[in-house]
Structure 1
Amino acid sequence: MLKPTVTSPTPAKHNDTAHLDRLTGGAFSAPTSGERAARVREWLQGNPEADQLAEVFKELSARDKGAAKLVREKLDEAKRSKGQEALGAEWAAKAQTLLDLQKLNMADALAWQRDAAKAGAPLSKEPLVTLKTQLAERVRVIEDLQHRVQVQREAAVLLAQRIEVLSTKPWKDAQAVVDTLRTDVEHWQTQATELTADANWSSVDMKFPPLLDASRGQLLVVWDAFQGALAMAVAAAQDGAAALPPVPVWADELRIARGVPAEAAPKQAKPKIDPEVRAKAVAVVREALTTLEQEVGEGHGKASAGAANALRHALKEFGKVIDDKLENQAHAALAAAGELEGWQRWRADQLREELVAKAEGLLKRPEGQTIGGRKMQESLRTLREQWKQTDQGGVPNHALWKRFDEACNEAHKVVEAWLEKIKAESAEHKAQRLALIAEVNAWAEANRTALDDDWKGFNRILHQFGDRWREGGHVGEKTFAELQPLWKAAISNAAAPLEALQAQSLALRHAMIDEARVLGDAPMLRIDAVKALQQRWQAQAHAVPIDRRQEQKLWDAFRKPIDDAFNRKTAEREKAETALGARDRVVLDAAKALEAANASGDAQAIRTAMAALDAALHGQAQAQAQVTAAGAQESAAKAAAAESEQNQPPAPEETAQVATENIANEAPAEEGSAAEQPAPEPVVPPKPAPKPVVAMRGDDRPGMKKEAPAPAAGRGGKWGDRKDSSPRGGRDGRDGKPAGRQDGFGRGDDRAPRQAAWQEAPRLGDTAFRAQRDALENAQQALRKLAAQAHGEALTQLLTAWEKRDAALVPSAQDLGGRATPATRTAWVQALGGTAPAKAPNPQEALLRLEMAAEVPTPAEHLNARRMLQLQLLTRRNDPAPAQTWGDDAAAVLAGEFSATDARRVQNVLKVLLKR
């Protein structure tokens, strides 16, 4: 007997892989992952079926995750597309159902689009796009019908008012417009009929058809009465025996036409009644009337009904006794009470129906819009309170109350489930808090001091315990009242070591605050002691942490006396600085004058004010020189006067005394201290000035001349270099020595002693120094701005002269600046006057040379010409460069034709050339 052959699954799997490889275009046999992904993308572009995608993904996911990801995305897209199609079909059926209804509910139609969007239906694809448009159009038609009903109602009211107004005018006026009124009434009836005949009239809200019918009936009644009265008026006018119309105005008019006086019929007088009976009746009726008016005014429906019955009984009993005015007031109050009672009953039922709908809607919500337990509890409590308030103002409705109570009881099941959940969570949170309290107690027993004196870490752990307690979840008020004392005791026990250390730190800080006050109150502030005290404070603050607010208050108290001392010192310094001297006042006045000149915008005035300020800054040294010179002149005058008084030459002792007095008078002294100076010493003849040492440069070797300089070792000069050149050559060009250095050490040939370029002057105060500095900076900025404006105006005038070919408009050489010489300006004037030289270059070429001289860019369309001109200039070795001939080139451009483009290029060029 032959055994059945068992087929191995490996060849089948191999065959499936080969089949899938052929299906995907060689994705399984691709050598690299990149090629495999590329072939998978190419295969996916053909939109394969979902079964094929699943097979390829199953085999490929074990080989290449990256390529399998592409297939998985395609599968997900296909699933989404299939789900979108199913959703689209479902919501399309719902929309079609709504459209097929003869009476469309607008709320359902408006909610369809919202619910479809929430469900994820493809509203931007067909057929939902068309259905959405159809629903929106039908809703718009229904809303239009409702609006037209309101318009028709207003039109009916206006027509009735027109008819009533005609009843107050002569009947002939009414007869003149009766045809127009008839046309308007017929037109209104036609429009009302069209509204009711519309296919969507059944979908209109239920309150609108009764409104239209009421308006129609009222208008027809008024119109028929008006036509009948007008016909009677016409007949009465034609026949004197005919009946008069019921319209009072028309009846009076016809009576007057017939010659009958229009007098009102006298009222029948009431019989006389005893005054006491009348007073008693009026009191009873008025009391009942006052009660009813009060209840109606406050809106009490039940009380107003009882007061109305009381007033009716009073009127039935005393109606014939009271006067007409009181009777009319009573009837008006009864009418108001009846309206209030009816309105309140209707309004109360309407409010109850709304509350029932809200109660039933608490559970009838779309998926994903459930209400939480707390919100459900608050909603039920609010609804029941509103029902109680409604019952207080109207007659109770037991049927609606039964529906409302059943809906509230059903919704309260959610609240009960939520309460059970809250109870379980509260028990869990209570257990967690008890565990935290036990953990804090254990930590407190194990950590009676900070590890490595890290009290900040100790405090941080305490704060972490506090955060965990606050985040421990919600528990009931009773449970929290039980746990809170345990927590406070545990955290206080854990924080006891830190609190003891903080108490010591507070004592030390208060002592340092007192020490800071002593330092601050001292007449002289010791900076070293203040620094040492601040370092001690910082060390204490870093070592022991305390509450941030308390630490800030202590720091403010510690810093205040020291800051006050520094502020006092600064105030004294500023007070000394603000005490202006004579020189400061002069400088301040000059600075203010310079600021005024800056504001005027006059360059000459600004320069004059700058010179005045500079003179004020150097005026003190000059004043001192003048005082010294005046003192010397006075001493010389005194000496001359003393010599003239003596006829004979004085003795040697007297001569020495006079010389001594002259020297004492010539010596400068401070004001107010000349009388207190001691007697001067005898005059010592001055020593001759030492001969200045002159450094000689030469060769001091034997046999060589000292005057001949030694050749520099290792330094060779280039051909054409000057022999007397020096790397530090002066500006005067003499022996390479710098100009202005006359001190005898290679600084000049006269070897005169060095003189100071400035004289000693007192230092300016802070106010004067800042004022003169700001004034000078503003003046320089104003001068630069004025120079730029003048430069721009000069360029504008030059271009205007070129455009108008008027040489008289060319600005002066001073306005053009120092770069434009008088010869250049003359050439420009001649070019504008038509007398330019014959060998002048081409204007375009000259303009290119100008742009090369100014190194400004050339427009794109002229770049080739500029490059060609640069190549040509390279071959002209002896020709001057464009930077040397820009004046002549500008004259050549001005001699040519004017164009706006060339004018902009010339302006850009001259803006640079005239500024350099």
Structure 2
Amino acid sequence: MTQATLKTHDTQALDTLTGGAFSAATSGERASRVRDWLASNPATEQMQEVFRELSGRDKGAAKLLRERLDEIKRSKGQEVIAAEWAEKAQSLLALPKLNIADAMAWQRDAAKAGAPLSREPLAGMKAQLADRIKGIEDLQHRVQVQREAAVLLAQRIEVLSTKSWRDAQAAAESLRVDVPDWQSQAQALLQDPNWGSVDTKFPPLLEASRAQLNAVWDAFSAALSLAVAAAADGAAPLPPVPVWADELRVARGVPVDAAPKPARPKVDPEVRAKASAQVREALAKLEEEMAQGHGKASAGAATALRGVLKEHGRFVDDKLESHAQAALNAAGELQGWQRWRADQLRNELVAKAESLFEMQAPAAEGEEPVRKPRFGGRKMQENLRALREQWKQTDQGGVPNHALWKRFDDACNEAYKVVEAWLEKIKSEAAEHRAHRLALIDEVKAWAAENTTAKDGDWKGFARIIHQFESRWREAGHLSEKAFAEMQPLWKQTIQAAEAPLHAVQKASLEQRHAMIEEAKVLGAAPQLRIDAVKALQQHWQAEAQRIPLDRKHEQKLWDAFRKPIDDAFNRKTEEREKASAALSERDRAVLDASKALEAANASGDAQKIKAAMAGLEAALSGQAQAQAAVAAAGPAEPAPATQMPPAETEAVSPEGAAAGDAPSETHAEATAETPPAPQAAPKPKAKPVVAMRGDDRPGMKKTEPAAPMRGGKFGDRKGAPSRDAGRGGDSRGDGRFGGGRFGDRPAMEDRGPRLGDAAFRAQRDAIEHAQQALRKLAAQAHGEALTQLMTAWEQRSPEQVPAMQEFGKSVTPAVRGAWSKAVAAAPSGDASESLLRLEMAAEVPTPAEHINARRALQLKLLTKRNDPSPAQTWGDDAARVLATAHDPANARRLQTVLKTLLRG
């Protein structure tokens, strides 16, 4: 069995397998059957075999198979990537201490690698990591909240030390509940499974808050116990709280003396001076930072000043200490204002972050509103970057606010899900675009191997295919800069290898075109321009341009260089011709003067002057022919010999004309010499003797007479048609170009003399056009004024105001004008409705909407009266009937509209 037989059997089997995709008649049917076959989920090997056989038959149907195979290949690759990243996610989830940065980096790196994060198992692991991260962040947030609560509890206890001990005793009951609650909540944080994954700075903070709260609570409880015991027993010791001790002294009747201020111990002057210098230096630094408005720097400077005062405060004088304390108070106020301003900015940023999603109304009642992102992926990413950068700048200038940061970070993370989906889509599209470009490179390589030269010499088709490859590369989709930089050199190398045959023939074509440019320069520089050589060279250039394509700009430059010397030669010839015809003849001057006179008459607006000027221009145009007639009338003209006649006037004539013209008698010649020609008749050239003619060679006929035609002329068989020989007798062209022959007895053309110059011709043509326009405009104005006068005469019933017949134009006869005058003079009577409808039908103008039905009824009525005259024939009488009725403004407008059209015709 041969290979062709095997291939036929394989094709038949594949056709049966695919449900008739190979035997389908059209491409659409093949694609439909392939689509139905793919819906049954065939094996990959079968799809590959069908694709190999079908790709050479139908690219469109094979495209469906190629897309399915690419999808399977991509899904297999993604399965391997998904397994790899799932293992990494599992290892992260198994860690007892999870680093948030590592978990977020897993998601970012997986998206970069093209892992399918939206499908299982990666989708579940991504959700687990997200929950784990959220739990850790929530735990850290709770630590901060507990720390703030401990500070508030400590402040409540400290405030009670400034009030009465009885108030403190009443408030102690609630504190005995709040403090243990705080301790239990702090202990719950330590028992959370995610406690080991929190940042290392949070456990010390919670422990410090617990220790501080315990110390404050223990001291408060001990002082309160002493106060209660002192109130019950006058000999008991007083509590260490000054306010409570003074209150108890008053209760015991002991006077309260102001505590004497302890005297400062004597200090060495050198030590005092050194301490004062350090305090002044720290104080100056704080004042400088406060003057410049630096929030963080002023806080640091205030801390430094407090440390110096703590260390050297007992060595400085009271004035310097007071100054330092005032500066510290001002710094505290500045920090408070900066914290307030920073919180304002943070609130604005939080509002912007939360507004990245908009709430849409639910589709049905009971459903939750849908949150829709306001921006797409790229715009959302840019907004998030800008918001986080602004938050960072705000944190640099003030004290952090963890509660606002939590809201801001949650909103940004929610918006970042849109960016993640967009990035995942971009990654998948980039992978598809990369695969498509690699396939295109392989296709170009295969095509270049098969097409080392143009088939059938069609280099334009070769270049067109190259251009199509380049267009497909440009439209192959977006790639990252790195991927594009990797693939672009490979593409350039491939396309240059494919273009190599075209570049070779283009190089040879360039050399040939440069040679033709040099030849064109030689032809253009020759004293006598050879038109035949120029035409042959241009045809050669066009053939070469059609055979070998070049870059359009380069080809245009070459064509301009080739055309320039020839154009210069023709321009020189034109300039010489224009110089020769620059001098105006007498006839041209006369025509120019008559044209100027006609333009002046046109400007005057007088119809009589315009007509007179037009007659003068016509006389100037025919002046040369009249001059020739006058010269002919002045004396006899010698007949030109037959050998000197123009070629156009030496055509064959009839046998009778030839017999009479071969040898004219002497008597006739003398008569011709003695008798002058009639005045104003142009001399006719003498007919050329007939050298050869075809006679009637039928039996019994004379060979000296031409054969009678079977039909007369082109239309010889028709009644009244001219004979073919009509006009051929004698000089067939002596009476004009179309005096006889095919068109019978057409009148001879007028002898208009020599050609006018360009300036004279254009001047007379423009003058005549302007004159005709002016006359039409004047006629329209005259008709309009005449119609206005007619309407006024009708309204006033005054026949004297009816315009004269000349003012209406040639369309109005004396009888019609008399009927109109009689109708205006008589008393109003009759109905004008039917007459107006007939007038509108005659002028073919629209009828008002309220009379449309009446016009249709009248048209039907006229169809039944075929022998009656039509409205176009009786419009004058119809207008008279309308004028005989009473004047009505609406009817007057309709009549004026109709007459404006009819009078113009």
Pair in the same fold by TM > 0.5: no
TM-score, reference length from structure 1:
0.43
